[in-house]
Structure 1
Amino acid sequence: MNKPLILILLLGVLRIGTPYAQNLKINKNTASLLQTVKPENLQAHVTFLADDRLKGRLPGTPGYQMAVDYAVEQFKAAGVEPAGENNSYLQPVRLRKAFTNKDATLAVINGPGKEEALRNGKDFIIYPHFENPAIHVQAALVFVGSGISAPDLNYDDYAGVDVTNKIVVIRRGAPQNFLSSVAASSMNLTTILKTALDHGAVGVIIGSASGQVHELKGVNDVRFPDGKMAPSGSYISDKMQLLSLFNRTRFNQLLQQANLDTTRVFASLKAGKPASTPMPQAVKAAYTNTYQDIISYNVIGKITGSDAALKSEYVVHTAHLDHLGISTPVKGDSIYNGAHDNASGVACLLEISKLYAQLKDKPKRSVLIALVTGEEMGLLGSTYLAMRPVVPAASIVANINTDMPTLIAPLLSVVALGAEHSSLSKPVQAAATYLHLGVEGDPEPEQNRFVRSDQYSFVKQGIPALHIKYGNKTPDGANNLNKKVQQWRETYYHQPQDDSNGLFDFNAGKVYTQLNFLISYQVAQNALRPTWNPDSYFFKALISPK
């Protein structure tokens, strides 16, 4: 992040003024407009976007282009202004799919004349390098525990070890006392790679969480117009020459050969006690890479604010437009339609764009409605939008993301993922109270949902963001909706069966749409920018001066 943007964000954090109203009051025009959100309109959007004709909306395919064209038509019909490039609704996003060729080799050097070649695809896999077609690297190893450097949380795996020009060995995880959102961010692959790079490492070896390794059928990232790759997903810099995944057996052997007791070490890391140490081994690896490049699109509309000064600031709504395309058949169906994931989220944003366009009195700030590409490929469209926004970066005050709201039951309570880190928790509470909804903590922290969708791209740029998900409250008082969602997920999530014929509660979609609109409306109306909480991990890690 550049220094001017940091200063602007800090000024926003330090400003003091009128808080959000606990009891939300909106004028009659806005209140009546809320009632124009119709479940049947949401259903119509989902039905079109999840139709077999779109063949799963994979970026770079005619099916995805049909979704783009539909979104543009909806924006035009609603009177939403274009906010893409060249006075259009489109922001081109250059995507690269990289492949590690089968000639990849990796050997562990246990001493002079003690070189052990490992089996590609069984003992290890190597992630492709996105900018260098051929890599040769040899470096000493250093075990750095979970690969986390969080001094503000009194935890640092890199303290006391020198990893300069070395390959770090990591057992992915986080101390058990970390908040779920903090643990998820700490274990995020991009975070792990950036931390290693910041400490001078040239490579990373990670133990497989599942215990096994599987062939990579290409890895995706986003490119800037100058051809350079964005630091995202499994790529952080051309200086990082190796990212390898070891199966559990080989990973444990690697530690044991360094006289590390894996049981004791892993227990220590879980308890929040680093166990980092130089290792006697080295690794040498060689591999080549090939690439496929395509152009996809973010679809972006704008509603201009009414205040002479504040209209140059923006609240950004996001939802991903893409899904998985055509893949392995399940029960005779190979089209992964993505009705819930995320045609439903796009449907909600299209209706939110209508609400803003029809408002008689526009909010003070402007609002962007962004339907982004490449989320299923690794948050790529939102990464590009957050790093190369269509408006000045410092003018974006908040992101409200919508991804698979899981509209399968009445919406009686919600979880605002990430809101606990900023003042965004206040408009969430006020909007929920207005709609008679409860606000709950995350019922599934193990899902790491805060870092798995597009809001995280904005968080990494220092922008307060949140993602509204369902809560647990149910009409019968059992308050166990997460169990029903888990059952639904086992059958439908990322399966061809997630189509428009599946289970839907579009009345819940109406409430969800109203809620997200009311949250952004309050942010757009408030004279003060949203602020990070000073004790937030993300404020300390991303914004606060060191």
Structure 2
Amino acid sequence: MKVPHLIFYFCFLLTGTGVAQTLKPDKNIEQVLQVVDPKNIEAHVRYLADDRLLGRLPGTPGYKMAMDYVVSQFKAAGVEPAGENGSYLQLVRLRKAFTGKEASFALSDKNGKQETLQSGTDFILYPHFENPQVNLAASLAFVGSGISAPELGYDDYAGMNVTGKVVVVRRGAPRSFPSSVAASSMNLNTILNTALQHGAVGVIMASASNQLRELHGVNSVRFPDGKIAAAGSYVSDKIKLLSLFSRRRFNQLLLNAGLDTSQVYASLTAGKPASANLPNQIKVSYQNTYQDFDSYNVIGKITGSDATLKSEYVLHTAHLDHMGISTPVKGDSIYNGAHDNASGVACLLEISKMYAKLKVKPKRSILIALVTGEEMGLLGSSYLAVRPVVPAKNIVANINTDMPTLIAPLLSVVALGAEHSTLYNPVKEAAAYLNLAVEPDPEPEQNRFVRSDQYSFVRQGIPALHIKYGNKTTDGANNLNKTVQQWRATYYHKPQDDSNGIFDFNAGKVYTQLNFLISYQVAQNSSRPAWNPASFFSKNAASDK
């Protein structure tokens, strides 16, 4: 899409808790918008998705090649280093944990009769990331969906004392919850943190089926002292157990306690808690082993122009990693990740050039972070969010870029998460300038707001958003989501997602311009972005700091 031939600058007017932007002429901005070249975006994608990088798996030479490429691009553009020790890099210590095959799990009923459960058939255990040997004896309590949200009129823990117990959870959310709130409520770390806050020592969850997949290791990221900073299977060493039960075994557990599963599940969906203490006791013993390795976030900076506001930062993120070499599909085993997420990295590299070329920098500073371990569970961004390279209180917003899906002309966008904060205003203004419509999420069932790196910053209380494609199409059918679904079935998380796939690099140009215009407005505004007072995330985003 061609940018309208208009010269402008941004003037900001504070209106209550929100911010209204008015566009007025400034050649400074118009010129840098024209810097974006689709051929440059294509060149970045082709390099980062080349077979030589072997899928950019963290801790491998291919990932290092991707890091070196980003650093060289930052240096060539004049972007300042913002990593550790004057470098562009932030060390991220990763751990892959495994549970031993000799794990034992015994379940006793109210009469003390003990049954030994079968690993892989009745249950699977997630590894503990700090304790090589775990032994646990505890009683059980069913806490519905494991949600405690009294501000929404719903609390599975109301009236329950689960201190020292293992809570039993059927993952879900009331149908009345908005999609992003439901997705956050069902997030594994949210469930675990809620259990921890109520004194539980473990969590048993229901599988959606009777077939349990064997875990081939679970990933986490560690602090320098060895403690776990972020993990996919527990949030504190006080949580001793995370187990997944087959659907049959889980339902049997409730039935044996006199609970009608169909009534219980219908009640939870309707927003009526159905929690109850269970008469069972468990005894669990398992061992854990570890593989430790290092990776890096790559971070650059453009210093702002205002003497006071330059100490505050607008943070752009995109994940640099992908899945490496894995199961062959149609004879190819290299998971190149061209769309996911070489395309997002390419857009951020062009944004860094735009800011570097600005004759007058915005008032606030800009951070550009290419993070590691997203495909392992948002690990690089989780670490950056809890151990930022600048004071945490000085990060005013996060704008994330993950798989923008550049396969057709960009005519409309979805701003995931923007509805929860004043970030919606700069999105609206930037989109209007580029003649883009802003639409609601066409695929709320995908839970995309909590599935990429912006969620790491939301959890730390930082307003964040993620720009994705909308539904508008050139033929007026406005059903791009169907095309994307077809594309996803062929390419997503498959070796076929390489640089020879479907691409519209002109759409990449517009996408880059849009994200730049959003962050520029935030960087220029004297008022910080804020959560909308009624937003679920305004009350809950920082609950697990």
Same fold (TM over 0.5): yes
Match of 2:105 in 1: 106
The one-letter code matched in structure 2 to 1:121 is G
- Asked if 1:202 is matched to 2:212, the reply is no
Q: Residue 161 of structure 1: CA displacement?
A: 1.0
Equivalents in 1 of 2:232, 2:153: separation in Å?
A: 26
Q: What SS is found at the alignment partner of 1:361?
A: coil
Q: Is the 8 A contact 2:154 2:272 kept in 1?
A: yes
Aligned 1:92-491 pairs, distance under 5 A: 92-491=91-490
Q: Is the 8 A contact 1:417 1:468 kept in 2?
A: yes
Q: Is the 8 A contact 1:398 1:465 kept in 2?
A: yes
The one-letter code matched in structure 2 to 1:367 is I
Equivalents in 2 of 1:315, 1:238: separation in Å?
A: 33
Equivalents in 2 of 1:222, 1:93: separation in Å?
A: 7
Q: Is the 8 A contact 1:231 1:237 kept in 2?
A: no
Pair 1:171–1:317, CA change in 2 (3 A): same
Pair 1:221–1:18, CA change in 2 (3 A): closer
Equivalents in 1 of 2:542, 2:504: separation in Å?
A: 40
Match of 1:11 in 2: none
Q: Residue 113 of structure 1: CA displacement?
A: 4.4
Q: Is the 8 A contact 2:326 2:334 kept in 1?
A: yes
Equivalents in 2 of 1:414, 1:394: separation in Å?
A: 29
The one-letter code matched in structure 2 to 1:516 is N
Match of 2:33 in 1: 34
Q: Residue 233 of structure 1: CA displacement?
A: 2.4
Equivalents in 2 of 1:34, 1:402: separation in Å?
A: 18
Q: Is the 8 A contact 1:455 1:467 kept in 2?
A: yes
Q: Residue 17 of structure 1: CA displacement?
A: 6.3
Q: Is the 8 A contact 1:22 1:429 kept in 2?
A: no
Equivalents in 2 of 1:233, 1:209: separation in Å?
A: 18
Match of 1:527 in 2: 526
Q: Residue 248 of structure 1: CA displacement?
A: 0.7
Q: Is the 8 A contact 2:255 2:261 kept in 1?
A: yes
Equivalents in 1 of 2:25, 2:201: separation in Å?
A: 55
Q: Which moved more, 1:18-27 or 1:72-81?
A: 18-27
The one-letter code matched in structure 2 to 1:300 is I
- Asked if 1:508 is matched to 2:513, the reply is no
Q: Is the 8 A contact 2:105 2:116 kept in 1?
A: yes
Equivalents in 2 of 1:26, 1:295: separation in Å?
A: 48
Q: Residue 33 of structure 1: CA displacement?
A: 1.4
The one-letter code matched in structure 1 to 2:273 is P
Match of 1:50 in 2: 49
Q: What SS is found at the alignment partner of 1:215?
A: coil
Q: Residue 25 of structure 1: CA displacement?
A: 3.6
Equivalents in 2 of 1:25, 1:410: separation in Å?
A: 27
Q: Is the 8 A contact 1:99 1:218 kept in 2?
A: yes
Q: Residue 122 of structure 1: CA displacement?
A: 1.7
Q: Is the 8 A contact 2:222 2:230 kept in 1?
A: no
CA deviation profile, 1:169-195 (whole Å, cap 9, x unmatched): 000000001011100000000000000
Q: What SS is found at the alignment partner of 1:177?
A: coil
Pair 1:126–1:18, CA change in 2 (3 A): closer
Q: Residue 210 of structure 1: CA displacement?
A: 4.2
Give the TM-score normalised by structure 2: 0.96
Q: Is the 8 A contact 1:175 1:270 kept in 2?
A: yes
The one-letter code matched in structure 2 to 1:173 is G
Q: Is the 8 A contact 1:190 1:231 kept in 2?
A: no
Q: Is the 8 A contact 1:221 1:235 kept in 2?
A: no
Equivalents in 1 of 2:458, 2:259: separation in Å?
A: 36
Match of 1:10 in 2: none
Q: Is the 8 A contact 1:431 1:519 kept in 2?
A: yes
Q: Is the 8 A contact 2:166 2:203 kept in 1?
A: yes
Q: Is the 8 A contact 1:232 1:383 kept in 2?
A: no
Q: Residue 329 of structure 1: CA displacement?
A: 0.4
Q: Is the 8 A contact 1:17 1:528 kept in 2?
A: no
The one-letter code matched in structure 2 to 1:93 is V
Q: Residue 23 of structure 1: CA displacement?
A: 4.2
Q: Is the 8 A contact 1:109 1:116 kept in 2?
A: yes
- Asked if 1:84 is matched to 2:71, the reply is no
CA deviation profile, 1:208-244 (whole Å, cap 9, x unmatched): 1344311110000110011110144222000000000
Equivalents in 2 of 1:472, 1:388: separation in Å?
A: 37
The one-letter code matched in structure 2 to 1:234 is S
The one-letter code matched in structure 1 to 2:326 is S
Q: Is the 8 A contact 2:459 2:542 kept in 1?
A: no
The one-letter code matched in structure 1 to 2:502 is L
Match of 2:10 in 1: none
Q: Residue 21 of structure 1: CA displacement?
A: 3.7
Q: Which moved more, 1:281-290 or 1:310-319?
A: 281-290
Equivalents in 2 of 1:481, 1:231: separation in Å?
A: 35
The one-letter code matched in structure 2 to 1:118 is L
Q: Residue 19 of structure 1: CA displacement?
A: 5.2
Q: Is the 8 A contact 1:42 1:344 kept in 2?
A: yes
Q: What SS is found at the alignment partner of 1:230?
A: strand
CA deviation profile, 1:288-339 (whole Å, cap 9, x unmatched): 0000111100000000000000000000000000000000000000000000
Q: What SS is found at the alignment partner of 1:474?
A: coil
Q: What SS is found at the alignment partner of 2:519?
A: helix
The one-letter code matched in structure 1 to 2:143 is V
Q: Which moved more, 1:133-142 or 1:208-217?
A: 208-217
Equivalents in 1 of 2:25, 2:157: separation in Å?
A: 51
Q: Is the 8 A contact 1:147 1:196 kept in 2?
A: yes
Equivalents in 1 of 2:383, 2:23: separation in Å?
A: 34
| Structure 1: runs of 5 or more not aligned | 1-14
Q: Is the 8 A contact 2:77 2:356 kept in 1?
A: yes
Q: Is the 8 A contact 1:23 1:434 kept in 2?
A: no
Q: What SS is found at the alignment partner of 2:368?
A: strand
Q: Is the 8 A contact 2:124 2:214 kept in 1?
A: yes
Pair 1:246–1:539, CA change in 2 (3 A): same
Q: What SS is found at the alignment partner of 2:191?
A: helix
Q: Which moved more, 1:103-112 or 1:518-527?
A: 103-112
Pair 1:376–1:543, CA change in 2 (3 A): closer
Pair 1:90–1:387, CA change in 2 (3 A): same
Equivalents in 2 of 1:122, 1:507: separation in Å?
A: 50
Stretches (4+) displaced over 6 A? 15-18
Q: Residue 491 of structure 1: CA displacement?
A: 0.8
Give the TM-score normalised by structure 1: 0.96
Equivalents in 2 of 1:127, 1:26: separation in Å?
A: 57
Pair 1:524–1:185, CA change in 2 (3 A): same
